[in-house]
Structure 1
Amino acid sequence: MNGGAVLLPYRSNRPWLSGRDRKRIAQVLVLVLLVLVAAAVPQGPAWAGANLIANPGLERVDVGGFPVCWEKSGWGDQSFTFGLTGPGHTGANAMQITLATSPNGDRKAMMLENPSCAPNVTPGHQYDLSVWYTTTTANTVMTMFRHDVAQGWVYWTDLATLAVTPAWTQKTVRTPQVPADTDQIAWGVTIYGVGTLKTDDYAMEDVTAPATGTACSAGDACVKGVWQVLPFNSPVRGLHTVVLKNGNVLLVAGSGNDPDAFAAGTFTTAVYQPTTGTFINVPTPADLFCAGHVQLPDGRVLIMGGNKAYPAADGSHGYEGLKDSYVFDPATNSYSRVNDMTAGSWYPSATVLGNGDVISLGGLGEDSSGTVATQYFSQAQQRWLGLGEAHQTWNFWGLYPSMILMQDGRLFYTGSHVFGNGLPGTGSSIYDYDANTITPVSGLQNKDQRDQSMSVLLPPAQDQKVITMGGGNIDSNPDANRLTDVIDLKQANPTYTAGPLLPTGTLTGGIPQTTHQGKMYVSAVLLPDGKVFETGGGLHNRADPVYEASMYDPATNTFTAGMAVDPVPRTYHSSAFLLPDGRVMAVGDNPGNGSFDMRLSVYSPPYLFKGARPQILGLSSAEWAYGSTRVVTVDGPILKAELIRPEAVTHSSDPNQRFVDLPMSVSGNTIGLNLTSNPNIAPPGWYMLFVVGTNGVPSVAQWVHVG
């Protein structure tokens, strides 16, 4: 073992010692540290019940006066002190950090990222991490890094925000499953606000239960899942679908891409109730066909724009966008008017921000030209701001541009859009509303053939990775592509890299696709087990449906082909979305002949055939504040828990879809779930809370309110 020698050059090479003194000290330290570290650091696989932390009580101190296997870390321009204090929670020592000022950055009490000090871990396992602490500031979090065998040491996640406490308090948090290719983790406590933090008595234990049988007797459903076409049709053309905070589904048609209905003023909406299989018809105040929509923090749905006019027969104008805006209330199943937008919007984006405000970009205006205004809805004022009240770039973003909120509050335009070529330049960019800047992002493949592609923020949202899938071009109308692109938005200068190709499927009549074919109008749905279900789509504009579905795993960046296929074609004006019971529902298909398929399909993923579902037996509160811990009671061992934002999807676009990991503090069947302190990770609103059992099966969701 060479663990002690690793520490010597850093800790014992002091300029005030002679060469002879350094040699003697080194010889002694080699012997001492070899014994001490060998006793403290596990060699080989971790085992349950053992504390895997080296020097957990901070009692062994090196020649520099700091605990062996620990280091001072952080960045920024704070005025700070960092050292040992005593007595600790137990023993003589505790680590103490005091920030007198904190204009930026943070300071961390971290274990050393080296082979002798960082605990060894096993991919797929979970670990309970605990620390005793006191802190005078709520700006304190448990922070974790992992060692990737290819990338080296990388940030993993912030596990929990620590509450202010003057007395020694223990915090225990369960890690997510260790990703593949990870062999060690390092963790500690970060302080990023003015105050004093003390820590002591660290512990880490492998709590992975022994593998149990997961035999499945459901045949192909065990690996493919199964689709069911419901025995009734939708009463409206479901062009726009929103999963409401009560579990019902809002289906908005407006005129439903039917000029005759528009001329007659026949605009329709229905609310589908999955628990009863029934519908409620809702009076619809305007033609909300091809509007934008997003859930507000209180669970109501903001709907912006829509269709003011279909193209004129004489070619004098094309589609015209409405300025109208409405709020749909799930409590009353009714619309109410809010003030008009600053410009007409047909095919606008809609992205909720960390403060609950909404930004809408792109679309067509009242004169059929591209809308270049940045339109901003104030949550506090419940109105659209005027042009002069919102920052303006006067940039055209295209139709239904996919704008995903990043953890720092900026928006990532993924390159997914609708109708024709992408925007000039690289095809994707980062938009900073506050600074009023647009920064190109490179790497998106074949940017002018990503029409009706779909982009999603991958699970978990804390990883800040986005995948863009498929696409085509309705103007040149080539075969749609199988391309995927993945980007890590945590990087200083993020760029897309090519991902795995979408699997091939079959066309109408069972004709196999060739290797160069793909699909547009694709749907991608985040599932409670952390995977992405990809389904639906067509080979050409409003034609040639592709029968294929696959499962994408963000942890391995791979697709599993051969999932069960929806027997109903799902191309233009189709959507797929997650239901609170863990199933996926698909609606719509609008071929080039103007017809519309009113059938509804529901997909049961393979996890629903792999054993009993865990149950959430109790929930301490449905109101969740940022940085807080909420307690749930469950009926058995739990692998992970997360919040999934309910979808509001149309035209292969829902930029607000996200899966937020909830690090766990576990005590038997009582589990503390730790919510991020960053509202840009989990924008305020209603979420579906899922817990996932050790058999990989999710619970039925409970609804919780974040903000």
Structure 2
Amino acid sequence: MTAPPRPWMSRQDRRRIAQLLVLTLVLVLLTPVRPAHASVNLLVNPGLETVDSTGFPQCWEQSGWGGNTYAFAVSHPGRTGANAMQITVSATAGGGDRKAMMLENPSCAPNVTPGHQYDLSAWYTSTTPDTVLTAFRHDAAQGWVYWTDLLSLAPATTWTEATVRTPQVPPGTDQIVWGVTIYGTGVLRTDDYTMVDATQPTPDLSCSAGVACEQGAWKVLPFEAPVRGIHAVVLHNGDVLLVAGSGNSEEMFEAGTFTTAVYHPDTGTFTDVPTPADLFCAGHVQLADGRVLIMGGNKDYPAADLSHGYKGLKDSYIFDPATGGYERVNDMSAGSWYPSATVLGNGDVIALGGLGEDSSGTVATQYFDAAEERWLGINEANQTWSFWGLYPSMILMQDGRLFYTGSHVFGNGLPGTGASIYDYDAGSITPVPGLQNKDERDQSMSVLLPPAQDQRVLTLGGGNIDSNPDANPLTDIIDLKQPSPAYTAGPPIPAGKMYVSAVLLPDGKVFETGGALHNRADPVYEASMFDPMTNTFTPGMAVDPVPRGYHSSAFLLPDGRVMAVGDNPGDGSFDMRLSVYTPPYLFHGARPQILGEVDRQWAYGSSHTVTVDAPILKASLIRPAAVTHSSDPNQRSVDLPMSVDGNRIGLNLTSNPNLAPPGWYMLFLQGTNGVPAVAEWVKVG
């Protein structure tokens, strides 16, 4: 009898192969997916090999602005192939820049889809750090407009690849162009450009939390603050500094009872802080090392016989989170009650406006030198002798000038257009037109819209303390990148209000909450969400059950929630309750997690890598709040262009300190489900 044929593979062999197949499948699933650049490049002539009649690469242009001395050339050989683009800037006395840029031409510019993100890469060599990858976009209404600077490039003597992920393409944009800008002296060569659609599949955004999925939800905490939260500062350790001074209580002022407390969100506890002076209605700003500079305050309440009004202190202190106490620094050059405070790109601070020791308006420009840790004398600082009102909102621009937005407190009747650009170095003030009803913007609020690179400011709401009409729902928007910036009317907020709070969120939106219809009366229970991408408000957000009028504030916490404090009606009472708002995004799934350690020190123009457990949509640095009286001119959200390699995310910080002034920031990563990770603290500068 013939034996049956043996199987061509033994049972043991089959078992081993099955195990290998399983192992291979596991390895495939665990291996990070890299973009398949070569097969999906969206660019025309990406290798610069096709040239026009002049010998310059087709679909590329020689662009830039200013009077610098420059030369464009096609260098040989390229990184691959024959050609590379070369720009030489030999002198910058005339200012400006030069760009290796794609043509703004329908047949050359790559088409894009709103809401999508794209991975861009280019190979380069450079002898200067003054280079940046720049993008422009074609808007259906405005035509070609600047979009954003995506990535600063370090000098490189050999061919080096720069890769970055764009933000989401805004609505109305159908094409983009991009390239490398050089704005300092040196030689730049570029070659082999790539652009691919990096958009993740639409995630499941289902939510089982009912109306909270769309509106968010408020919770009033089961305890009250021990001090009146006139001033609120989010410290770089996650605690919240609440400063009252006399807290608008003349009785406490006469008794010399001045209060401060530190709130610890992790434990729901407070630490009392001895307070050396009446810091009621002082100015404050966070210094580069995370300490808080507090300037001015209340020297005296108004006299019963009306012989004088509020008087401003010259005193100045630094609060140190490490010691939990105040340290005295030298006096300001003039008394300041309700002064502004804006940190500059070099870490110094400018204070403007307020009332002086004689109750009159302070016209001195007061300058704090951070390196010397002192206020300059009156003759050491550049002066224009201008009165800016009380708490004038002064926002640092990307070129180092200050934009006075028109938001103020008790500043009605000031001459001019209501808004202006102030150049400290030149000592010049340039009026800015377009602000609506400039004398009814008392207790309005202004914010630099996300991302800071876009240089757009939103001013919303306001009223008039003197005539006390119904507060208005007006908004105004300005693009500070324009050669002659001017406000244009924005969409109205859903309800007229003064004492309004506006908080920048990790998802790039602005949460608008709180306010009142009249001076210290008639609270408005309304909240909405502003989307800078669409310039629209979404009404019907959940409403804080606590009235939030005069002396109220709202601010972002490192966990992505918003806290609100304070309310001081005309009867002199003060609401000590604390509220916390959970935005809709926190109801839409699990938070992404940052795995391992994060670099804490971030130099300008540097790149940093973080490892995550889920796909990431966007990354940003948000400066922690230092807010009072609807005023936080230093609030800003700085976009971090990304490069993605599986679960490793490369984050690129701007090289411009005017976009991200030195100091501690909250690093937020937003998952593709819209949910942000809990912020990590990083120190810029």
1:147 and 1:154 in contact (8 A); partners too? yes
Q: Deviations over 1:473-523 (max 9, x none)?
A: 11111111111111111111111111111103xxxxxxxxxxxxx111000
Pairing partner for 1:605 from 583, 588, 591: 583
1:159 and 1:175 in contact (8 A); partners too? yes
TM superposition shift of 1:227: 0.1
**2:76 is the counterpart of 1:86:** yes
- Please give the residue correspondences for 1:334-413 in structure 2 after superposition, counting only pairs within 5 Å: 334-413=325-404
Distance 1:582 1:620, change over 3 A: closer
1:119, 1:703 → 2: CA distance? 37
1:422 and 1:449 in contact (8 A); partners too? no
SS of the residue 1:611 aligns to:
coil
Amino acid at match of 1:89: R
Q: Which segments of structure 1 move beyond 4 Å, counting only runs of 4 or more?
A: 46-49
Pairing partner for 2:278 from 258, 268, 287: 287
Residue aligning to 1:151:
142
2:37 and 2:195 in contact (8 A); partners too? no
1:111 and 1:186 in contact (8 A); partners too? yes
Amino acid at match of 1:74: G
**Which stretch shows the higher mean deviation, 461-470 or 616-625?**
616-625
**2:612 is the counterpart of 1:621:** no
2:389 and 2:411 in contact (8 A); partners too? no
Pairing partner for 1:421 from 412, 422, 441: 412
1:210, 1:565 → 2: CA distance? 33
SS of the residue 1:387 aligns to:
coil
SS of the residue 2:304 aligns to:
coil
Amino acid at match of 1:215: S
Residue aligning to 1:676:
654
Pairing partner for 2:485 from 490, 494, 512: 494
TM superposition shift of 1:666: 1.3
**2:640 is the counterpart of 1:662:** yes
1:47 and 1:206 in contact (8 A); partners too? no
SS of the residue 2:379 aligns to:
helix
Residue aligning to 1:698:
676
1:49 and 1:206 in contact (8 A); partners too? no
Residue aligning to 2:43:
53
Residue aligning to 2:559:
581
- Please give the residue correspondences for 1:180-579 in structure 2 after superposition, counting only pairs within 5 Å: 180-419=171-410, 421-504=412-495, 518-579=496-557
Q: Deviations over 1:421-461 (max 9, x none)?
A: 14112111111111111111111111111110001111111
1:153, 1:441 → 2: CA distance? 24
TM superposition shift of 1:352: 0.5
Identity score, percent:
79
TM superposition shift of 1:412: 0.8
**Which stretch shows the higher mean deviation, 154-163 or 47-56?**
47-56
Q: Deviations over 1:368-414 (max 9, x none)?
A: 11111111100111100000000111111111111111111111111
Residue aligning to 2:160:
169
TM-score normalised to structure 1 length: 0.90
SS of the residue 1:128 aligns to:
strand
2:391 and 2:408 in contact (8 A); partners too? yes
1:362 and 1:397 in contact (8 A); partners too? yes
Q: Deviations over 1:616-669 (max 9, x none)?
A: 224552111111111111111111100000010000000000010111111111
1:228, 1:47 → 2: CA distance? 47
2:227, 2:220 → 1: CA distance? 17
TM superposition shift of 1:99: 2.0
Distance 1:420 1:173, change over 3 A: closer
Distance 1:483 1:220, change over 3 A: same
Unaligned runs of 5+ in 1: 1-45, 505-517
Residue aligning to 1:22:
none
TM superposition shift of 1:79: 3.1
**2:612 is the counterpart of 1:634:** yes
1:349 and 1:401 in contact (8 A); partners too? yes
TM superposition shift of 1:94: 1.3
Q: Deviations over 1:211-235 (max 9, x none)?
A: 1211000000000000000000000
SS of the residue 1:222 aligns to:
helix
SS of the residue 2:101 aligns to:
strand
- Please give the residue correspondences for 1:32-111 in structure 2 after superposition, counting only pairs within 5 Å: 50-103=40-93, 104-111=95-102
Pairing partner for 1:117 from 87, 99, 108: 108
2:390 and 2:411 in contact (8 A); partners too? no
1:131 and 1:202 in contact (8 A); partners too? yes
SS of the residue 1:632 aligns to:
strand
Amino acid at match of 2:124: Y
SS of the residue 1:380 aligns to:
coil
Unaligned runs of 5+ in 2: 1-35
2:661, 2:575 → 1: CA distance? 34
Q: Deviations over 1:131-182 (max 9, x none)?
A: 1111111111111111111111111111111111111111110000001111
2:642 and 2:651 in contact (8 A); partners too? yes
Amino acid at match of 2:84: A
1:611, 1:137 → 2: CA distance? 44
Q: Deviations over 1:29-88 (max 9, x none)?
A: xxxxxxxxxxxxxxxxx9995100111111112221111211211223333332212222
1:422, 1:699 → 2: CA distance? 45
Residue aligning to 1:38:
none
1:643 and 1:660 in contact (8 A); partners too? yes
Distance 1:183 1:48, change over 3 A: farther
TM-score normalised to structure 2 length: 0.93
SS of the residue 1:241 aligns to:
strand
2:618 and 2:669 in contact (8 A); partners too? yes
